[in-house]
Amino acid sequence: MRVLWLQSGGCGGCTQSLLCSEPRALFDELRDAGIRFVWHPALAHESDSEALQVLQSCADGSIAFDVLCVEGAMLRGPNGTGKFHLMAGSGAPMTEWVQRLALRARWVFAIGSCSAFGGLSASTPGNPLQATGLQYETSDFGGLLGEEFVSQGGLPVVNIAGCPVHPGWVVDTLEKLALEGLQRSDLDELGRPLLYADQLVHHGCPRNEYYEFKASAKKHSDQGCLMENLGCKGTQAHADCNIRPWNGNGSCLRGGFACITCVEPGFEAPGHPFQETRKLAGIPIGLPADMPKAWFVALAALSKSATPKRVRANSMADHTVVRPAVRKSEK
């Protein structure tokens, strides 16, 4: 399976993340699955005119490829011309290149939240870059390729969202496509692969005991739950970051930072500071997925009243100050 990878309006962080793929070396893993890059701006030998020739040959059908991966938002400005981002040496907007290549690809992957939904590139007030995703503009259908776009393989754009994307999500999706095939039923409502989007960041969170008892952190160095006061939206974010840790043992929450739902459209402009929980009458506005407000209020009140002393004390400390009790097993 041959992959062509382009970078558009973004930081290149998704490529940097991909290079940290574990546990096996990235290229060994992909090679054994029969996957190779036709061209990648950071990994290919060809550059300058040679690279342009590869892209031109892909666009006119002289070089066949299977998957078009696009990293970074599509910059349509100014005034829809796309001239804010020209393909070096070609004089043509990147938007035009992507449109041409998407028609040749059997499948199109949006790598990261910028290419999926617009992401941080679209977050400047008024969006002067006219940045958009490949098939979504935030959570609305449209984007560069349009609502009706379907690749030759019969799928809409596959949105491997994240900021940056987890390397495992990219590798696993490519391997599933190469070894088993990818169907619409493998994607959620926003085109994200269910192999990671059928979980929540909340699942596997090391702070779950504190969440259960609503024992909340007051400051970022505290061990308690970050939802009530410090902006955590892990109960709303569709990803398996805490089940499949980054680099084997890391995640935002394991590092002491609240989840900002970087896999969701519009995460970049929540309307308040990321590390602050927006509330109405003292109740967080961003409630857990699938939970009615009344249930949450009742559960929170009951949980707080039953919070063990150990959990309450540890939640507002940067280390364990009260250990779990040791009890003899009952015979």
Q: Which fold has domain 2-197?
A: Rossmann fold (3.40.50)
SS3 16: helix
- State residue 292's pLDDT score: 81
* Cβ neighbours, 10 Å, residue 202: 23
Closest residue by Cα to residue 261 from 289, 283, 284, 281: 289
> What's the first-to-final CA gap in the chain, in angstroms?
60
Q: What is 200-319's CATH number? A: 4.10.480.10
- The tokens describing 106, both together, are 């059997």
Task: Classify the phi-psi angles of 300: left when phi > 0, otherwise alpha if psi is within -120 to 50, otherwise beta.
Answer: alpha
- The tokens describing 162, both together, are 């994240």
- State residue 230's pLDDT score: 95
Where in the chain is CATH 4.10.480.10? 200-319
pTM, two decimals, is 0.93
- Give CA–CA dist 18/21, Å, rounded: 5
Closest residue by Cα to residue 253 from 287, 212, 292, 210: 210
- State residue 124's pLDDT score: 86
- With a cut of 70, say whether residue 21 has pLDDT above it: yes
Q: At what angle do helices 48-60 and 94-104 cross, to 10 degrees?
A: 50
- Phi, psi at residue 312, to the nearest 5°? -65, -45
Where in the chain is CATH 3.40.50.700? 2-197
Place of tokens 């952190």: 217
Place of tokens 């959990």: 311
pLDDT 10s digits, 305-327: 899 999 999 999 999 999 999 98
- Give CA–CA dist 300/313, Å, rounded: 18
With a pLDDT cut of 90, the percent of the chain lying above it is 83
- State residue 331's pLDDT score: 65
Taking CA atoms, 6 is separated from 3, 15, 94, 106, in Å, by: 10, 10, 9, 16
- Give CA–CA dist 274/260, Å, rounded: 6
Place of tokens 């382009």: 6
Q: Give the distance from CA 153 to its chain's centroid.
A: 23
pLDDT 10s digits, 139-193: 999 999 999 999 999 999 999 999 999 999 999 999 999 999 999 999 999 999 9
